[in-house]
Structure 1
Amino acid sequence: MAPILEVEPDSLPPSLDSLGLPEKEKPLLPAEMLEVDNHPRMPRIAILIDDLGYNRHGMESSLILPKEVALAILPGTPFASKTALGAQEQGRVTLLHAPMENQRELKLGPGGLYANMTKQELQATLNQDIDGLPGIQGVNNHMGSLLTTKQQAMDWVMETLTGRSLFFIDSLTSPQSVARQAAENHGLRTASRDVFLDNIRSEKAIDRQFARLIKLARRHGSALAIGHPYPETTAYLKKRLQQLKGDGVQLVPLLDVLLPPKTQHINH
């Protein structure tokens, strides 16, 4: 059984990592305004489990989590297609977990995107990755602490996603990432990761990160966490997500915390 590829640790300083996402806004009709005034929206959290596709256990343990939990799947992996199909049959949001070059020169596995690629090479590879996972709704970066800092490469990525009508999640593995801004510039629905749940694989550490997630959701209206299909993470979430009513927080599908598309202002 192949191991799950190593992922980059949370590299953001606390001052940046604690920033939350602004609550998604939408125009309201007058009657809806009154309803919102009387019934304020409950803080929302979204959870994305990525690094899926390498083994059956990760697939099975993730598919028993609440259907609001989204799954991101590595391309060209043994259980990629089966994981995507199982998730989509549940009505679950699925993403391509696109491998992107990192500063530590860790191996990316199949379908990797590199800073030295030409536009044609990068977009052809990304399109191949997307084609290998029919039915996905979005993309997020696997590793990527180098590539997500490259403006031109990110523009090429977002140009591809625009043509495929996909959203983009910045896993935020570098504080210098320009990925989310590039997505916004290209008119994509987008968001950035607020919290990594399981850089430390213990129940106590995961619980501490989950508490941060709730705190950020209360402060900003919504917050997004990324975790991995570790036994410690899936066991924790299976239990903890049943207790959210007591926290006054709502678990929602990933689509509900995306920022709406902005008007494109790319100079071609």
Structure 2
Amino acid sequence: MAQTLHRKRRNSKPPSKAWRTVVAVFLGAVIIGVGAFLAFTFFSKGEPTTPTSPPPPPPVTETVQADMEAETLAPRRIPRGLTTEEALDEALYSALARLGAPKNSLRIRKSGKIEGLDRDLIEIRAEISTAFPMSMANHQVQSSWREAGGDIIDCVENRLGRQVTIQAGFGGITTRRVVLSRQQKEPLSGKVCLIIDDFGALPLREVRGFLSLKIPYTASVMPSEEFTDEVYSALVDADIEMIVHMPMEPEGYPRVDPGEGAIFVSLPPREIKKRIESSIAKLPRAVGMNNHMGSKATADKPTMAAVAEALETTGLFFIDSRTSVYTVAEEEVRKRGIPVTSQDGNIDVSDDSTAIAKKLLELALASREREGGMLIVGHARPNTLIAINRVLPTLEKWGIEFISASEMLAYRNRED
């Protein structure tokens, strides 16, 4: 059977001309169809499906778009309005103030025109405190300018590292020439008040290191905690200034409990006065008070009016911890003629010593540009103590002066 079939194939006639034509047409149609499919795939909006095709470009962000426009537009133009320039200048002046060169000490002048534009190029000369290495000052200025959205076009260091010239701008255009040089006078000092909250919440063995801090500070003691008595006695022996850390109702109550003897908005004025007097009696060496929690209480006018009335005859000052953006505490206490102020920043929102040290440096530097200094709050925790001790030598070198809360109140309320 196999041999018969073989003979039939060998003796079969070649395909006719018509059949060859049909096959050629069919193959041509297949080739055209495949080509059309590949072309459609390549030019469609979807991503390429072939392995050798390049990946799609990354999305164009606003920053990338701005950079692209700065490189391609001719002539290049500064965006209309002063918003961008004002933000950049504010960042620059703030950075210079932290370096010991407040705005009123700067030499600012026009220095020709911006190339290709009918706008003035501004030169700013600043004398930097000798407490800062010039490389650090250079980094601080450049970082602040960039973080505000600007560009650093060029930077030249000369005079053996005693002067740095920074060409700064935005959109690739130089709009400011910043010249940093050394001060010939003593570093500008900033005043910092450091309040350490929550004494009494932890046993003395965990917070004993605060007793030997080499700077003036104020301890804020919770009046009714488990370890209040032993910590209070140790603070008295160490002659450290104290204030009452008065528990007050937070927005999250009862899920968040402010502690025993707290002030609640539902309490009548007589009960509020009773609780304040009881707390003060437990800490007779206290010279002032600030609020523990209290985001709800300090935003309630009747409650804070009752607190102020209770404080009126005690001789204590009050510091608003600003746990609410809606606080009326300072306003209500001031009405009674009681010395009052507010905190300016918290150094230990996270319990990480490196983050705490960085925040303390930032806030302490800011005291150079604040006429009333900076009132900074930390908490009586081991990592906060580690961070404070780590940065104190640097802060001393920068000319930062630490004062107590009572001294800060007197400083802020001084007569000009």
- Paired position in structure 1 for 2:310: 160
Alpha-carbon offset, residue 225 of structure 1: 0.8
Q: What is the letter of the counterpart of residue 401 of structure 2?
A: Q
1:209 and 2:359 aligned? yes
1:64 and 2:212 aligned? yes
Query: Which has the higher mean CA deviation after the structures are superposed, 177-186 or 162-171?
Result: 177-186
Q: What is the letter of the counterpart of residue 368 of structure 2?
A: R
- Paired position in structure 1 for 2:269: 119
Cα deviation 1:165-198 (Å, max 9, x = unaligned): 0011111111111111222221112221111110
- Paired position in structure 2 for 1:74: 222
- Paired position in structure 1 for 2:331: 181
Change (3 A) 1:242 1:148: same
Gaps of at least 5 residues in structure 2 are: 1-93, 95-184
Change (3 A) 1:248 1:140: same
State which of 390, 399, 403 in structure 2 corresponds to 1:252: 403
Give the TM-score normalised by structure 2.
0.51
Larger Rg, first or second structure (1 or 2): 2
Using CA pairs below 8 Å that are at least 6 residues apart, which structure has the higher relative contact order? 1
Question: What's the C-alpha RMSD, in Å, of the aligned pairs?
Answer: 2.2
- Paired position in structure 2 for 1:35: none
Name the structure with the higher strand share.
Answer: 2
In 2, Cα distance between equivalents of 1:240 and 1:211? 7
- Paired position in structure 2 for 1:96: 244
In 2, Cα distance between equivalents of 1:58 and 1:97? 19
SS at the partner of 2:313? helix
Alpha-carbon offset, residue 142 of structure 1: 0.2
Q: What is the letter of the counterpart of residue 214 of structure 1?
A: A
State which of 370, 379, 382 in structure 2 corresponds to 1:228: 379
In 2, Cα distance between equivalents of 1:79 and 1:189? 29
- Paired position in structure 1 for 2:194: 47
Quick check: 2:199–2:380 contact (8 Å CA) kept in 1? yes
Cα deviation 1:121-158 (Å, max 9, x = unaligned): 11111111111111110100000000000111111111
Alpha-carbon offset, residue 39 of structure 1: 8.6
Alpha-carbon offset, residue 243 of structure 1: 3.0
Equivalent pairs counted in the alignment come to: 226
Q: How does 1:132-171 map to 2 (within 5 A)?
A: 132-171=282-321
In 2, Cα distance between equivalents of 1:185 and 1:114? 21
Change (3 A) 1:230 1:154: same
Quick check: 1:67–1:91 contact (8 Å CA) kept in 2? no
Cα deviation 1:100-127 (Å, max 9, x = unaligned): 0000111122111100000111111111
In 1, Cα distance between equivalents of 2:192 and 2:242? 17
Quick check: 2:199–2:220 contact (8 Å CA) kept in 1? yes
SS at the partner of 1:255? helix
Alpha-carbon offset, residue 85 of structure 1: 2.6
In 2, Cα distance between equivalents of 1:228 and 1:131? 23
